[in-house]
Amino acid sequence: MKFVINGKFLTRMLSGQERFAYELISELDRIVPADFIEIVAPKSVKKLPRYKNIKVKIYGDMTPILWEQTAYPYYLWKHGYIGINLCTTCPIIKPDITVIHDICQVVNKNFIQNIYAALSYVYYATMRRSVLCFSNIILTVSKFSKKEIVKHYGFPKEKIHVLGNGWQHINRIKDNSTILTKYPRIIPHEYFLAASSLTPQKNFRWIREVAKRNPDKQFVISGKKVGLTTKDDSETGRDEKNILYLGYTSDADLKCLMKNCKAFIHPAIYEGFGIPPLEALSQGAKVIVSNRASLPEIFQQSAYYIDPYNYDVDLDKLLKKNVSPPDDILQYFSWKTFAKKLYVILLKYNN
C-alpha cells in the first residue's frame, strides 16, 4: 500500500507545523524505500523540494484549501492510496492518517475574538470530527496533546501516537549578526527575546504587562500578524518604550537574536509543543516558559517556569535559580528519531 503526503503545506509560509512537515519528510527520505511514499501538491506551489526516494507530484490546479478537499482526496481514491496529513488540516471526506498538533482553537473558545477566528473554529472543529470518525491513526506531538484529544473527543488512546519536534534544522542556518547593528536598541545579552506568531494563546500580553512593571529591561518580540491576531496581540497602539517589535524575522536573524539574548521567553497559555524555545535552548540561551500545557513535559528541569497569569515577576531573581543542563532534552528531540518512529508506524499500518 502506498502512502501519499498532503502537499498543501508547500504553498504556505514556513512556521511551526510547516517546519515539522519539511524536516520530518527530509529524514523519512533517508530511510524509506523508493515508491513507499510520495507527495502530491497543487499547481500553486512555487518551488518543489527534491528528495532521493520520495517523489513530489503536481496534481490539480485550484486554490490550496479547495484542492485539499477535492483534488487531493480524489487522487487518493483513484489510486487506492492512504493519505498522510502532517499539518493538522486534512480532507474532511478522507482524513486517513493525520497529525493533530493541538486542539487549541476547539478547546479555548475564549480565543475566538474576530470573524477569522470564528470561521477557523468551525473549520477545524469539523475537520477534527472527521478525523475522529474516519481515521484509524492519529499522530500528535506531545503527551499533553494526546491527553487533550482523548479527554475532549474520546478517541481511543491506543490509536494516538506521539511523535515530536526537533531543533537540528537550526544547525544549517548561518546567523546574521547585522540584525544587531540594524537595531541599536538591541544590546547583546541585555534583552529578553520572544518569537512566535502573534496569537492569543501565545500570550504576548504577559510580556507587555511585565515590561510595564520593569521599565529598566528591554524586550524584543519577533513575530508576524496572522488571521487569528487581535489588536490586543499586535503592537498596534502600544507605547511601551522598552518593547521592540520586529515583525517577521528571518531564520538567520532569529538565530543571532537567540544566541545573544539574556533569556528567551515563551509565556504561552496553550501550546502543543513549542519549537522556538527548543531552538533557543539549542543555541545556549536561557529559556523561560509557561508552566502550562505541554511546556513542562518538553523542557522538564532545563527551563525557568512562570505563571502566565502572574505579571509580578522578578526576572533577575528567576534567572538565578539552578536548572538542569539541556543535553538530554536536545538529544531526545530529534527529527531523525521521530521520522524513524513514523516509518515504523506506517509499516505496521501496511501489515
Residues 66 and 201 in one domain: no
Mean pLDDT of the chain: 89
Residues 105 and 178 in one domain: no
Least Cα distance to 5 among 41, 59, 47 occurs for: 41
Residues 83 and 183 in one domain: no
Each residue of 46-67: pLDDT tens digit?
889 999 999 999 999 999 999 9
**247, three cell numbers:** 515583525
- The CA distances from residue 40 to 7, 32, 46, 137, 139, in Å, are 5, 17, 14, 20, 20
pLDDT attached to residue 117: 60
10-14, 42-46, 239-243, 306-310 — which one is most confidently predicted on average?
Answer: 306-310
pLDDT at 225 exceeding the cut of 90: no
pLDDT at 81 exceeding the cut of 90: yes
| Strand 82-85 with 97-99, pairing | parallel
Secondary structure of the chain as H, E, C letters: CCEEEEHHHHHCCCCHHHHHHHHHHHHHHHHCCCCCEEEEECCCCCCCCCCCCCEEEECCCCCHHHHHHCHHHHHHHHHCCEEEECCCCCCCCCCCEEECCCCHHHHCHHHCCCHHHHHHHHHHHHHHHHHHHHCCEEEECCHHHHHHHHHHHCCCHHHEEECCCCCHHHHHCCCCCHHHHHCCCCCCCCEEEEECCCCHHHCHHHHHHHHHHCCCCEEEEECCCCCCCCCCCCCCCCCCCCEEEEECCCHHHHHHHHHHCCEEEECCCCCCCCHHHHHHHHCCCCEEEECCCCHHHHHHHHCEEECCCCCCCCHHHHHCCCCCCCHHHHHHCCHHHHHHHHHHHHHHHHC
Residues 9 and 134 in one domain: yes
Residues 8 and 106 in one domain: yes
**Looking at the 3D structure of the chain, how many domains does it have?**
2
- Region 228-251: what's the mean pLDDT? 69
**300, three cell numbers:** 522538564
pLDDT attached to residue 333: 97
pLDDT attached to residue 227: 38
* Amino acid symbol at 125: A
- Region 258-280: what's the mean pLDDT? 96
Q: Cα–Cα distance between 152 and 166 in angstroms, integer?
A: 27
Q: How far separated are the first and last CA of the chain, in Å rounded?
A: 9
Residues 318 and 231 in one domain: yes
pLDDT attached to residue 136: 79
Enclosing domain of residue 240? 168-332
pLDDT at 223 exceeding the cut of 70: yes
Q: Cα–Cα distance between 264 and 159 in angstroms, integer?
A: 35
**201, three cell numbers:** 494563546
Q: Measure the CA angle with vertex 281, ends 226 and 17; round to 5°.
A: 35
The CATH number of residue 79's host domain is: 3.40.50.2000
Cα 263 to chain centroid, rounded: 20
Q: Cα–Cα distance between 141 and 273 in angstroms, integer?
A: 6
Percentage of the chain surpassing pLDDT 70? 91
Least Cα distance to 15 among 257, 199, 290, 216 occurs for: 199
Residues 18 and 129 in one domain: yes
Does residue 245 or residue 106 have the better pLDDT? 245
Residues 179 and 134 in one domain: no
Residues 38 and 156 in one domain: yes
Residues 139 and 56 in one domain: yes
pLDDT attached to residue 309: 95
Q: Is this model's pTM higher than 0.75 or not?
A: yes
pLDDT attached to residue 107: 73
Confidence category of residue 349, pLDDT binned at 50, 70, 90: confident
Q: Cα–Cα distance between 209 and 106 in angstroms, integer?
A: 27
Confidence category of residue 241, pLDDT binned at 50, 70, 90: confident
Q: Residue length, the chain?
A: 351
Residues 144 and 283 in one domain: no
Cβ(150)–Cβ(171) below 8 Å: no
Does residue 111 or residue 172 have the better pLDDT? 172
Each residue of 146-185: pLDDT tens digit?
999 998 888 889 989 999 999 999 999 999 999 999 999 9
Does residue 195 or residue 199 have the better pLDDT? 195
Residues 319 and 184 in one domain: yes
